[in-house]
Structure 1
Amino acid sequence: MPIAPRALVSPPLFMAADCRAIDRHWAAAHPTTSLMERAGTATAELAGTLASESGESVLILAGPGNNGGDALVAARLLATQGFRVVVVNRADPAHLPPDAARAWAAWRESGGTILADIPPSQRYSLVIDGLFGVGLQRDIGGEEARWIEAANGLNCPKLALDVPSGLDSDNGRVRGCALRADHTLTFLGLKPGLFTADGPDYAGQLHLDTLGIDAAALPVTPGIALTQLESRHHLPARRQNSHKGLFGHVGIVGGASGMVGACLIAGRAALQQGAGSVTLAVLDERVVVDYLEPRLMFAVPENLVDAQPSVLAIGPGLGQQPRAHALLETALAAPCPLVLDADALNLLAGDVGLAKQAARRTHPTLLTPHPGEAARLLGASSAGIQANRIKAAQRLSTQYHAHVALKGAGTIIAHPDGRYAISTSGGPWLAQAGSGDRLTGMLAALLGQGMDAGNALEAAVWLHGETASER
């Protein structure tokens, strides 16, 4: 039975190459048991619950590969259940993969027909998208693009198999055009592209069916979907006999003239996340108190950087003037966890010396760039970053020996050891000024309370996203 991904704890993410390897290994070990038959059965079961009660036909778009074969199996099974089925497929059966060819033949032998185009002016109870799966390696055009456009315009539920056709399963990028699914039934394991970049806008509600393969038989992968917090993401319960000194002193540097709000937002978030005390080093020296949160302390920036707080965050509203540059240079030498955000990242991108200093740090370094900042750090374009968000985050993590959160739809958290996670929390409400400053404060607070750097970054991103999801 399909599983909702949010019910799983840190499920692994499989690239297209992983899925192909799983298929090969299964076929070699189980020559008489078809995964395609299992996938088609799972599709038919879910489709039966999704089809509207209008009595109209189910439209099935079947492509030239195994994804199309899954759809043809589902067509045959739905027909036996009494559904009227319209199958559209232009593939040459002589050139189909073996399993897909058998599914094509079984559909025809059962009396099923295959149309070369979508019948005009017809209504449907459901569309099943089996055009292209994880093997797509080109932009979609021609007849398939026209079919996708037509399907997107139909007023009925749409179920995509494995991934919506046109969505790159590895990186979430749309290849030319893509089906906007209401539901996606993905097989064997979860795919990164369903959770980041354009994936969340096209995949709809996700369902996972492992097709009966034991998790122990699946390959080990470096990526996980951060679907909920694990025990490693939680701080220990506070003892009654406690004091503020046990929960860290967070220092936050930023707040140049006209941008003080960024520093205040970060500081307030750090207190809300449990930091024992928070000191703001605001470059605009006219600001010496936060009347809405008077627990925040203020200090001369140079003095705070030298004071060795439990954790230091620099960047919110920092600006890029010479004083900001000097403060960043000093902060990079601080013997404590260091969070770099906003203008600290822009300064880093513009100075090779600072970049080398950051990469040489022996204490934990954490970077929280948005795609524009990541592009400047890597000497790339924002579009290039978005084309492969996982690779970009991993490059940054390697280059700076840092834990990195590449913000955006499906924030990527990359670690220096090669692991990565994609957060499934969050939403468009995070696309707002001050959102990143709040994340910086939350992260600094968790670090100040003693959480491991990598776990703290994952926890902060998740919690930050959950608050936005509630809006």
Structure 2
Amino acid sequence: MIITEQASLPDALYLAEQVRALDQTAIKVFGIPGATLMERAGNAAFRLMHERWPQARNITLLCGTGNNGGDGYVVARLARQADYHVQVLQVGDAKKITGDAKTQVELYVQEGGVVEPFQSIDDDTDLIVDALLGTGLERAVTGLWANAIRAVNQYKVPVFSLDIPSGLHSDSGRIMGCAIQADATISFIVLKRGMFTGDGPACCGGIAFDDLDVPPEVYGAGTSNTCMLRWDAASSALKPRSRTQHKGQSGHLLLVGGDKGMLGAISLAAQAAARTGAGLISIATRLEHAALIASQRPELMCHGVEKADDLSTLLARADAVVIGPGLGQGDWGLAMLRRVLETNLPLVMDADALNLLAIEPEKRENWVLTPHPGEAARLLGCSTSTIQADRFAAIAALQRRYGGAVLLKGAGTLICSGDDSSIGICIEGNPGMAVGGMGDLLAGVIGSLMAQGEPLGNATRMGACLHGEAGDLAARLGEKGMLASDLLPFLRQLMNPECAE
């Protein structure tokens, strides 16, 4: 059965090596011929193509020399049988096609299909099907293959990728020189983790899935340690408050930041924490900012703190601390951070707290680090491009070096916590959230959940999903022009699912 709704996609995400192991298990242990799996894949792709683009009658398929190309030839044969006008362009030496893929080429030709070497795409094409490269890609795409991919991306018609967009690394989600920019992708048997982070979401477009009727027992051959994180699952743990609950039972969060000229960041973080349900919110900021923030939101307890020793009383009352929004990297920010690090309170380290940590690194298990790729690069002493080349390797290295839970921001936010070895990918959120202040909100949300008693890993995963889902609700008015503060009412709404209409 083809699954097209994001909320219904399987949670587990797999590596290319695991995909190959599952294929072999299905074939050798459960006796499903490879040819049968290829036929099923082609049939699923053709059905989805027909449903999604019913007006497209002239299609061009670019087929490679491996099994991905074989899937494409099945689609081409079925399309001809359904009276489509079909152009098949072979990329790569056709003599290298073997096994089940070769059989599909022969079947297509036997039924009157024509195969042309790739040169150009028909001008009247309504749809392009990408069946060039599968999950085994490990080197940069060059030569004729790169020319074909660039030609597809320049053509102004929808593009449909089979299994994974050609040129996208299925494990890391990075573009290998160049990659297909698909409008939709159908993934077979399992979902690949690179489809959901880094360049993956932009390359894949809408993602569909078909398990090709592989028995559930097959999946025991490859255990995934990567999963999708969604708000609907994360929110299942939310319960209405007790009728006798008071503010002291709802957590006291201290937020430290807002150096001179940067009060907005700490104010946004504190407001997000309040809308997420923390009972008491204290802010330690520069003296001149305290009254300004309090006038904007009088529910927040704002304290002008000029010396690190002045934090002692506030720290003694707190259940958790967020430090970093607007902190700065000057003497004041460094003094505040050093004092906070003397406590054993659960911490959220964000923004300049991370930049200062990169200078004076340490490791502990009761904190959450929330770097964007640039901050992650400073924490690991490498380039931002290195972080983005393999976000999974980066977050694992961050967690090993600094401990606790780590949230690596970006398209397909990653979460890795010390409570297990798994990595979660938050699939909530949208490009409209790429504006200043969104990270401050996220820090406040996670800190609020921690202050309310959520374990670090749960608070980080839940906070990322809550933040992303609030952004998706705010984006109903459009992604362009969204402000971080637009999310605040939706945070409250989502934290109270019992009040949903």
TM-score bin, normalised by smaller chain:
over 0.9
Change (3 A) 1:350 1:61: same
Aligned to 2:298: 294
Aligned to 1:242: 245
The reply on whether 1:279 has 2:282 as its aligned counterpart is yes
Unpaired segments ≥5 residues, structure 1: none
Whether contact under 8 Å (1:10, 1:228) holds in the other structure is no
Alpha-carbon distance, 1:152 to partner: 2.1
Change (3 A) 1:214 1:146: same
For residues 4-403 of structure 1, what are the structure 2 equivalents within 5 Å? 4=4, 6-8=6-8, 11-29=11-29, 30=31, 32=33, 34-53=36-55, 55=57, 57-119=58-120, 122-218=123-219, 219-230=222-233, 234-288=237-291, 289-299=293-303, 300=305, 302-304=311-313, 306-351=315-360, 355-356=361-362, 359=363, 361-362=364-365, 364-403=366-405
Alpha-carbon distance, 1:75 to partner: 1.0
User: Secondary structure of the equivalent of 2:254?
Assistant: strand
Alpha-carbon distance, 1:425 to partner: 1.0
CA offsets per residue over residues 123-169 of structure 1, 9 Å max, x none? 11221100011111122222222222222233322110111111111
Aligned to 1:422: 425
CA offsets per residue over residues 156-188 of structure 1, 9 Å max, x none? 221101111111111221112111111100111
Change (3 A) 1:308 1:245: closer
Structural RMSD (CA): 1.9
Which letter does structure 2 place at the counterpart of 1:379? G
User: Secondary structure of the equivalent of 1:291?
Assistant: helix
Aligned to 2:481: none
User: Secondary structure of the equivalent of 1:392?
Assistant: helix
User: Secondary structure of the equivalent of 2:14?
Assistant: coil
CA offsets per residue over residues 339-358 of structure 1, 9 Å max, x none? 1001111111001xxx23xx
Percent of residue pairs identical: 38
Distance 1:65 1:277 in 2: 60
Distance 2:405 2:434 in 1: 22
Alpha-carbon distance, 1:304 to partner: 4.8
Change (3 A) 1:246 1:306: closer
Distance 1:28 1:406 in 2: 39
Which letter does structure 2 place at the counterpart of 1:268? Q
Distance 1:90 1:4 in 2: 29
Alpha-carbon distance, 1:6 to partner: 2.0
CA offsets per residue over residues 363-414 of structure 1, 9 Å max, x none? x210000011000000010111011111111111121121111001111111
Which letter does structure 2 place at the counterpart of 1:158? V
Which letter does structure 1 place at the counterpart of 2:70? G
User: Secondary structure of the equivalent of 1:438?
Assistant: helix
For residues 429-468 of structure 1, what are the structure 2 equivalents within 5 Å? 429-468=432-471
Aligned to 2:415: 413
Alpha-carbon distance, 1:99 to partner: 1.7
Distance 2:335 2:443 in 1: 21
Shifted more, 436-445 versus 333-342: the winner is: 333-342
Distance 2:336 2:417 in 1: 26
Distance 1:31 1:238 in 2: 52
Change (3 A) 1:4 1:346: same
Which letter does structure 2 place at the counterpart of 1:309? A
Whether contact under 8 Å (1:264, 1:290) holds in the other structure is no
How many residue pairs get matched?
463
Whether contact under 8 Å (1:305, 1:331) holds in the other structure is no
Distance 1:340 1:215 in 2: 41
Alpha-carbon distance, 1:234 to partner: 3.1
Change (3 A) 1:330 1:126: same
Distance 2:217 2:335 in 1: 52
User: Secondary structure of the equivalent of 1:87?
Assistant: strand
Distance 1:297 1:405 in 2: 28
Whether contact under 8 Å (2:59, 2:125) holds in the other structure is yes
Which letter does structure 2 place at the counterpart of 1:142? G
